[in-house]
Structure 1
């Protein structure tokens, strides 16, 4: 009897380890032989811990499961009070288009045979046949863009590094997931780490790199453990090392752990950190593609971009490009957090409206109160009020609406939220996390906090000053930290002026 109990960090935080122990103990008391597989999370956090039993009809789900529910699991599973039916038929999961997360929650994350049985390594085999030019053409034709920031086309970045002269090149995976409301990187590493390894090897073949680094933050101990174990297993199996899958191509990789500085999510600060330097941004040019890690040509991609590449090669660029809208092709793993009824991960093609995502998929607020706003793209993303909920989820569409997609994390708040306080928090966050490299971010964020306090106290002249300050930060900052800090501030001020007026009344 095979039973799945997630070892995902979110599931463990909700008691999955105790559930696994209770199930094992109940089975032993009854003399039932069970195999407990610690899989990744399916992404339905409100159902965690989600226990699944393998049956001839498919995997049956039970959740949210508690240790006290273990005995009944062996008595009459069909009538168990936590029974959910076939997991794949749960509406939240059935509605998704899983490409990047196709195996997450399905396989044993550290079983390479399970990974291969479920489609793994097909992309790498295709890559070894295509070679550099063929791989780059497929990735370019797929329309894949960066999944962690501005959405730069992945194929163009790879082409630049491939054409750059030099005997040594690197592949760097940016898994420094520091945005509020984002957890997709962690979920994928903990649920399907071999897909990232496969993607990085393919990137190495494409650009002529033989070394890779996964940059993870220290706040993700479970992900670090899983990733390091997966790399070791891949090396033992010949997927990494001097002859990848018996070919004449060499590639190896390792994990580097950062100390949690938000600015190290910016690619050049990340490179400095890997090199053992202080995490400060570098001026551009030169670009990392030409002068990156240890001054060598370097591909720096978000984890989700790299982990999607194997599927693109295995299924073909045309199939992946068939999803999406406008210039935003493929799927996007949406992360719903905050005051939302169905929080979790939902992978779907680009093009859904924000209203569909939050109200239909997310189920509205968890409190049941009216929804006030959604912040898209992390702590430096713009706040979107309901009047903008018809905005289609795409890079250009969000830029036109004064926002950014970033890592596709969405934080929902209801009508009790104080947007003036949120605006101040965003600017203060920038002031705390600034690396100090450039004046607009280092000084502007501090002056921004002071100016917001003046507005809250009723200083009308401070509003125009804030706009000028934000313009300076946008134009003069070297990285996204200072450049995007004005987004949550100005969007809150524009869409919720009444909250700033209430702040004045509170002062009086």
Structure 2
């Protein structure tokens, strides 16, 4: 009998020591080589998705999964679960009722997902092309070389797939337009410059199944008549860069790409370009400028990249996730792909579900899935069962969606109609202890630093918005600030040069739209309802709830809390720095927030 041991070695699990686990499991298997009944094959894979519970080890064909595995668990795993049929309960995931679950299908985090893009991630060794070929890899490319360009594009158009990088532009239309132009050479490019805070979808795909993205880009090249392609990958993604380079080399050695793609008359040269570390280089024209060796600045798009892109030649640029979908579309047909999702947003979408949610990680669901299903059924709800407040979708330029809209279907058009956006798929969940004004200030600060500064509306608009938001958070807010923020935001949407500036105001405008009263509390009452803004917050202990356990005093960094054992504790407001550690450590919810005394006086009228 042959068993497989799959070890997650994506970036998250590597940070938790999965490579040491792999080494220990290898040693444990070698030490039991004398057992002829069971042969174990160890495979290091890409991200399994459930990152906070890594390192993850999966044993096949038993479909037994262990979480938070340590190197010292290796001998026990091999003896009991590889050579034997025994389960190790302490390494199994516990569901909401506390019951250990054996397989990923029983795990509530995985049970509600539907994997198309991530179908092979976590199942194959990304550095072994043979693994990809065994699962039907490059069969779509083999089929594509026997099809006409129009036939390939027809299938992509039938699928209805829209760009997963954020804009949601129909991929088939982009390919069709580029194919019409007769000026050669043409180029194709993959956008792997994933710069959104909290997002790691593209990273996980590139690390876990690089060949699927190569295959998708190769099919795009054939469809539009390009002979050269580029992978533009975020500079911090060392592992992704390493694996895509190896995958390209392996595909060239096998004759899959190169001078003769799959033995056909088509040729394709692929190169990897590391991003320069600028968030704005995720924008298409800035990305192409960076590939050319110029400063990564966007340009006006009165002429689109499909007509004049790289070196002023027709260029098709697609996101990592978009390209990873293409082989399935070509192999199974566009109509079948379109059966998943909604009419206007077909297929699935990969999200990074993070923040104040019990189960965080990489999630793939059909388009049209509700926010409630994502956050509560897959994510398990809010940590500590605290009230849900908002979810921020679409990265730094995305909007914040309130509790009243939890049943909103997640697709391109639905999110846009409420001032949010799909973006690349980042999803950050917030509870009642998140200050929405500070959230808007944080993202505005990020975008202010990342703006290229080329156009005045974005450059100056972001700076002015940041000044106003900082004043509000620090107690200097005044009447008229909210209305001024709205005017600035709408001006940026209308007048900015590129998508960064046009969408930069989304966090501000949506937090004002859905959390107006929170802005007013900051400005009129000089109070932060969430207890986040230090200049506007003081903490008090409710006598009727305090048990005198002393946890708050032990966690206070400035010794501002006094009180004996089993006595009501008191916070000295003159010493308190409003760090919130007392509230976080109190298990009895006895710490409450109030308006800070002697806050900075409001700004003088200008």
TM-score bracket for the superposition, by shorter chain length: over 0.9
Deviations 1:114-156 (A, max 9, x none): 2122121121122112120100000001000000112000000
**Counterpart position of 1:352:** 369
Equivalent residues in 2 for 1:182-193, closer than 5 Å? 182-193=199-210
**Counterpart position of 1:98:** 115
Equivalent residues in 2 for 1:275-354, closer than 5 Å? 275-354=292-371
Distance in 2, Cα, partners of 1:458 & 1:223: 45
How far the C-alpha of 1:433 sits from its partner, in A, is 0.5
Distance in 1, Cα, partners of 2:273 & 2:468: 39
**Is the contact made by 1:455 and 1:463 (CA closer than 8 Å) also made in structure 2?**
no
Query: When the two structures are aligned, how many residues end up with a matched partner?
Result: 506
Distance in 2, Cα, partners of 1:130 & 1:90: 41
Structure 2 residue corresponding to 1:70, chosen from 46, 71, 74? 74
Which deviates further from its counterpart, 180-189 or 169-178?
Answer: 180-189
Which deviates further from its counterpart, 112-121 or 206-215?
Answer: 112-121
Structure 2 residue corresponding to 1:37, chosen from 25, 34, 43? 43
**Counterpart position of 1:146:** 163
How far the C-alpha of 1:494 sits from its partner, in A, is 2.4
**Counterpart position of 2:7:** 5
Distance in 2, Cα, partners of 1:365 & 1:15: 27
Which deviates further from its counterpart, 32-41 or 200-209?
Answer: 32-41
**Is the contact made by 1:186 and 1:223 (CA closer than 8 Å) also made in structure 2?**
yes
Distance in 1, Cα, partners of 2:359 & 2:108: 11
How far the C-alpha of 1:340 sits from its partner, in A, is 1.4
Which deviates further from its counterpart, 120-129 or 490-499?
Answer: 490-499
Are 1:53 and 2:70 an aligned pair? no
Structure 2 residue corresponding to 1:448, chosen from 456, 465, 489? 465
Equivalent residues in 2 for 1:101-500, closer than 5 Å? 101-456=118-473, 457-500=476-519
How far the C-alpha of 1:46 sits from its partner, in A, is 3.1
Distance in 1, Cα, partners of 2:502 & 2:211: 35
**Unaligned 5+ residue runs, structure 1?**
none
**Counterpart position of 2:553:** none
Distance in 2, Cα, partners of 1:164 & 1:349: 34
How far the C-alpha of 1:94 sits from its partner, in A, is 3.5
Distance in 2, Cα, partners of 1:49 & 1:405: 30
Q: 1:87 to 1:364 in 2, by over 3 A?
A: closer
**Is the contact made by 2:145 and 2:262 (CA closer than 8 Å) also made in structure 1?**
no
Deviations 1:70-121 (A, max 9, x none): 1210232222131452344434323322111111111111222221221211
Distance in 1, Cα, partners of 2:309 & 2:198: 29
**Is the contact made by 2:340 and 2:367 (CA closer than 8 Å) also made in structure 1?**
yes
Are 1:82 and 2:84 an aligned pair? no
Distance in 1, Cα, partners of 2:332 & 2:102: 30
Where relative contact order (Cα < 8 A, 6+ residues apart) is larger, the structure is: 1
How far the C-alpha of 1:455 sits from its partner, in A, is 4.0
**Is the contact made by 1:24 and 1:34 (CA closer than 8 Å) also made in structure 2?**
no
**Unaligned 5+ residue runs, structure 2?**
93-100, 528-535, 537-598, 601-606
Deviations 1:174-233 (A, max 9, x none): 010011222111111111100011001100000000100000011111111111111110
Deviations 1:402-454 (A, max 9, x none): 11111121001111111111111111112110101111011111011112234
Distance in 1, Cα, partners of 2:157 & 2:126: 29
Aligned residue for 1:172, secondary structure, equals: strand
**Is the contact made by 1:341 and 1:363 (CA closer than 8 Å) also made in structure 2?**
yes
Distance in 1, Cα, partners of 2:211 & 2:470: 48
Larger radius of gyration: 2
Distance in 1, Cα, partners of 2:69 & 2:433: 32
Which deviates further from its counterpart, 324-333 or 361-370?
Answer: 361-370
Q: 1:367 to 1:276 in 2, by over 3 A?
A: farther
**Counterpart position of 1:16:** 18
Which deviates further from its counterpart, 42-51 or 255-264?
Answer: 42-51
How far the C-alpha of 1:5 sits from its partner, in A, is 1.1
Distance in 1, Cα, partners of 2:430 & 2:206: 28
What's the TM-score, normalizing by structure 2? Answer: 0.81
Distance in 1, Cα, partners of 2:135 & 2:104: 17
